[in-house]
Amino acid sequence: MGEDMKNNKDIMEAKDVAEYLHVHLFTVHKYAREGKIPAFKIGADWRFNRKSIERWIREKEHGTRSVSSKKKEPNGDLFVKSN
């Protein structure tokens, strides 16, 4: 497989996402288990759609969250529930 094809995979493994996000592999697995990052399982292995990860990053950059997951704390601060 050519280097360009390998670097532009649509479906990524957890190690690819960790490298892409510059975080530890454990963090990627933890976020996937907790539903904090878009992921799906094939058997025991996590897989990640590159476009979903890129969209997730944009949402994090812009603070965009689902309206249904936003709640106000008693002190008026916004609390965002992670799924």
Instruction: Write down the pLDDT at residue 76.
Output: 52
Query: How many angstroms separate the CA atoms of 17 and 77, rounded?
Result: 31
Q: Please, what CATH class does the domain formed by 3-80 belong to?
A: mainly alpha
In this prediction the pTM is 0.66
14-64 per-position pLDDT tens digit: 999 999 999 999 999 999 999 999 999 999 999 999 999 999 999 999 886
Instruction: Write down the pLDDT at residue 63.
Output: 85
Buried b vs exposed e over 34-70: b needs ≥16 C-beta within 10 Å? Answer: eeebebeeeeeebbbbeeebeebeeeeeeeeeeeeee
Domain chopping of the chain, boundaries: 3-80
Choice between 8 and 77, residue whose per-residue pLDDT is larger? 8
Instruction: Write down the pLDDT at residue 6.
Output: 55
